[in-house]
Amino acid sequence: MQLTRGALTGLRIIDLTTVIMGPFATATLADLGADVIKVENLDGDMSRDIGARRHEGMSALTLNLQRNKRSIALDLASEDGRQVLDDLIRDADVLVTNLRPRSRENLGVTYERLAQINPGLILCTAQAYGSETAYRDYPAYDDIVQAASGAAKLSELIDGAPRYAPYVIADKVVGLYIVIAVLAAAVEKKVTGLGQAVDVPMVDSMIAFNLVEHFGGHTFAPAEGDFGWARVLTPERVPHQTSDGWICIMPYSSENWNDFFTAAGRADMVNNPRYATVDDRHRHMGELLSAIREVAPERTTTDWLTLCEAHGIPASDLLDLANAHDDPYVRDQELITKHEHPTEGEYYATRTPFTMSRTPISLTRHAPLLGADTTAVLTELGYPEEHIHALADAGIVKTTSAEPASA
């Protein structure tokens, strides 16, 4: 692997985030070529010690969420540590943080103060609720945001029981909103030369995300129909069991449904006026999916896939994510690739899942050990070697003398 010029080459981002949401956003920006400097406390991002790992501080989460970044470890509770952060900000384009407003203010991380240091700085803040609201300092993690945004309650419309999604949907969706917001502000800065404050509240983001399809008839005042997207709120919307496994079969057009029911021997369902339009089918989706469920066990998964392909009917078997790296499509797309980390050995790396013809997305730097780049970054800022040693000796910064993390 070699350094390649990415679409965001030249954009410097200070990453003052932890766990998943912020690191996911900045990993995406780093994949696109931004120079992302991850600022960690002296103990490191807590996600370094969550879940599987071969060595302390280098968890599976770390290997992929901190890829293509550099790490500097600072004691931000100290005046000298905050001075180092100010010096980082002076030459940066963007600072991203998921600290709550009170914590930001205690560290001096406010737009008003930082804009005096660097008028071109884009400060992107992301926490549970809007920074100017009464809820600004409420603690919240993914499950709380799913609850507060209405996401957890949507399943109640299906079977009467609210529940959380089996993945950190809010962290990842809001992470992508952070990317969008940062890029929009960076494009505007190209025109004006000025930075700005950008706030990406998690609850706000997820409410907007959830209402895209579910606002439904409640879009109108007064309401002109039910709340919710009927097709996805039916209890029958589940994978179907075949004679040897599971499958998703999803006819969509009238032709799809007629072809499926003809092939399945359900002549009574062909050209049935009850399902004539898309709206009709959405309203009666439970009946249609029940009919698929009844016939699905009559064939193997492969047989159904062959039949559906022949008629242009959307269908798929179910990917086992635990073995995704062995899937032919995943391999061909290089969505997951095997690499050799200088301290952690062989591992599988994920990537931002789109391609660009002139500025390819690539892994150019393995996830760093905590503080692996402290010395290099401070040297770039003009700190003399003796000053760096003094900061390390005083416990203001942490440096790691280990094999470089360059891929």
CA dist list (Å): 112 to 134, 181, 187: 20, 19, 21
pLDDT of residue 5: 86
Low-confidence ranges of the chain (pLDDT < 50): 404-406
Paired strand residues for 341:
345
What is the C-alpha separation between 2 and 264, in angstroms, rounded?
Answer: 53
What is the C-alpha separation between 44 and 39, in angstroms, rounded?
Answer: 9
Backbone angles phi, psi at 14, to 5 degrees: -95, 120
- Strands of 178-308, DSSP E: 196-199, 240-241, 246-249
The answer to whether 56 touches 354, Cβ cutoff 8 Å, is no
pLDDT of residue 3: 62
Three-class secondary structure of residue 325 per DSSP = helix
CA dist list (Å): 100 to 16, 122, 127: 12, 17, 6
pLDDT of residue 242: 98
On the question of a common fold for 12-209+329-398 and 240-317, the answer reads: no
- Strands of 89-212, DSSP E: 94-97, 122-125, 196-199
Q: Would you kindly state where each structural domain of the chain is located, as residue ranges?
A: 12-209+329-398, 240-317
**Residue 170, Cα to own-chain centre: how many angstroms?**
8
Task: Say yes or no: domain 12-209+329-398 is CATH 3.60.21.10.
Answer: no
Return the axis-axis angle of helices 285-295 and 254-263, rounded to nearest 10°. Answer: 30
What is the C-alpha separation between 211 and 337, in angstroms, rounded?
Answer: 36
Read off the pLDDT of residues 137-155 as tens digits, 9 standing for 90 and up: 999 899 999 999 999 999 9
Phi-psi region of 147 (alpha: psi -120 to 50; beta: other; left: phi over 0): alpha
Query: Pairing relation of β-strands 122-125 and 246-249?
Result: unpaired
pLDDT of residue 401: 66
Phi-psi region of 265 (alpha: psi -120 to 50; beta: other; left: phi over 0): left
What is the C-alpha separation between 384 and 368, in angstroms, rounded?
Answer: 23
pLDDT of residue 204: 98
- Read off the amino acid at residue 377: V
* Of 264, 240, 263, nearest in space to 318 by CA: 240
Q: Taking the CA of residue 406 as centre, how many other CA atoms within 13 Å lie in the half-sphere pointing to its CB?
A: 6
Read off the pLDDT of residues 245-300 as tens digits, 9 standing for 90 and up: 999 999 999 999 999 999 999 999 999 999 999 999 999 999 999 999 999 999 99
Instruction: Give 53's DSSP letter.
Output: B
Instruction: Give 368's DSSP letter.
Output: P
Three-class secondary structure of residue 199 per DSSP = strand
For the question of whether the overall pTM of this predicted structure is more than 0.75, the answer is yes
CA dist list (Å): 264 to 201, 210, 248, 269, 303: 48, 35, 15, 10, 12
Read off the pLDDT of residues 44-57 as tens digits, 9 standing for 90 and up: 999 999 999 999 99
What is the C-alpha separation between 377 and 388, in angstroms, rounded?
Answer: 10
- 324: which 2 tokens? 């995704």
Q: Omega into 222 within 30° of 0, i.e. cis?
A: yes
Q: Tokens 């179910």 sit at which residue?
A: 318
Paired strand residues for 36:
13, 69
pLDDT of residue 279: 93
Q: CA 323, 329, 334, 337: dihedral to nearest 10 degrees?
A: 20
240-317 has which CATH code? 3.30.1540.10
Secondary structure of the chain: what % helix, strand, coil (to 5)?
Answer: 45, 15, 40
